[in-house]
Chains A and B, each alone.
Chain A
């Protein structure tokens, strides 16, 4: 359980601000540094990446920085603020964020990349549900274990050796935060928002598999508001329309 909890505290700056708003002033004061530091060390460098090749090379290091900030904030906040207070704040933010994000996906992402739009809207709904479920599973024993593991992890000189940095959920949360930040930002969408959504979706699918393998019951991915049969049709269309023109005929012929 610990391995999947740490990323939950690492969210987009706008979400972080909202969670903090609901905390007591002394708790809020402890975490004021996080939003600006995340913007400087994760969101802005990620936005500057212009090619998928560079994204593949640079993302692991950015993720490690993101995870380190998550570990710092976890030690500072998660282990000192009453669990009920955090859970109430997180649930409220997740619900409000979903509504805003779904609206932004329709107005900003769908017109330029419908495939990414469906990936982002499924990720939004599914991660929201998964996070609420995980927060509710978050026990006092987990908090103590988490503190020990996070401190160990933060001091680990080899980032890839830390279990919390290798999970699909860790990557999914970081990319979800990036997508959220980009969609709610007034600037133009980043060049690679489609690639972010692709990787996010791969990691969401992987997270669902990881959680199920760990015995945690999670629901299926769904496009909100779309009937089940239409979802099937839509993903068949997405599959076919994303085939490269040069390969499409050959691939489809080979299946006959």
Chain B
């Protein structure tokens, strides 16, 4: 089964690299997650994760972080919002259902990118890798529930 990596988990890898760059000791849980991320033969991320990272980089006064990120996207598999399940339901459309289901179960997520990431995991039938408690809860109240792993635990 594939693993869909959420933004927070992917950013842990960047934090580890930054700690090493600054000659600091990285957090143990982040180092463990980074080791796993760097060794996975295929990394799947949602287009929403790409968006969340890119929006932080485009406003910078230097271009290289964005250039490196664009290049990095060639080394991972980015799942677009138009991906559909066997019934033709796209991730975007599933996200509306995911949000509504969560709300009905008392889990309200205000970040649309997070909802889309959960919905993408549903549509492609992957395990969701996240350290975000709300996203994990939203995933677990779905029908059927989305399997969640926390590589930062």
Q: Which residue numbers of A lie inside 8 Å of B, CB to CB?
A: 115, 119, 122, 198, 201-202, 205, 220-221, 228-229, 231-233, 235-244, 247-248, 251-252, 254-256
Contact = CB atoms under 8 A, between A and B. Distances in A.
Given A229-B38, A255-B53, A198 B63 contact: yes
A236 B17 contact: yes
Interface string B1-25: 0000001101111110110010000
A244 B72 contact: no
A40 B14 CA distance: 45
9 contacts: A232-B72, A235-B72, A237-B21, A241-B17, A242-B68, A251-B60, A252-B14, A255-B7, A255-B10
B71 A242 contact: no
A214 to B, nearest CB: 19
A221 B15 contact: no
Contact of B75 (A228, A240, A242, A251): A228
Contacts of B41: 229
Interface in B20-69: 21, 38-39, 41, 43, 52-53, 56-57, 60-65, 67-69
A201 B71 contact: yes
Given A242-B62, A244-B60, A252 B68 contact: no
Contacts of B65: 239, 242-243
A236 B60 contact: no
Given A240-B14, A242-B62, A256-B11, A232 B43 contact: yes
Contacts of B8: 255-256
The number of chain B residues touching the other chain, given as a range, is 35 or more
Given A201-B71, A202-B67, A233 B38 contact: yes
B105 to A, nearest CB: 25
B102 to A, nearest CB: 21
Interface string B66-87: 0111111011100000000000
A237 B17 contact: yes
A243 B17 contact: no
B51 to A, nearest CB: 11
A175 to B, nearest CB: 14
A169 B8 CA distance: 35
A69 B69 CA distance: 35
Nearest first, the 8 A-B pairs at minimum CB distance are: A255-B11, A242-B64, A239-B68, A232-B75, A235-B72, A238-B68, A240-B17, A251-B56
Nearest to A221: B74
Given A236-B17, A238-B71, 7 more contacts: A202-B67, A221-B74, A229-B38, A229-B39, A236-B72, A251-B56, A255-B14
B121 to A, nearest CB: 18
A232 B38 contact: yes
Contacts of B56: 251, 254-255
Contact of B62 (A220, A235, A244, A254): A244
A228 B41 CA distance: 9
Contact of A198 (B64, B76, B131): B64
Nearest to A208: B74
Given A239-B69, A252-B15, A220 B74 contact: yes
Given A229-B38, A229-B39, A252-B11, A235 B75 contact: yes
B7 A115 contact: no
Interface centre among A201, A202, A236 (most CB of B within 10 A): A236
Nearest to B8: A256
A201 B66 CA distance: 12
Contacts of B17: 236-237, 240-241
Contact of B18 (A201, A205, A248): A248
A233 B63 CA distance: 19
Nearest to B14: A240
Contacts of A238: 64, 68, 71
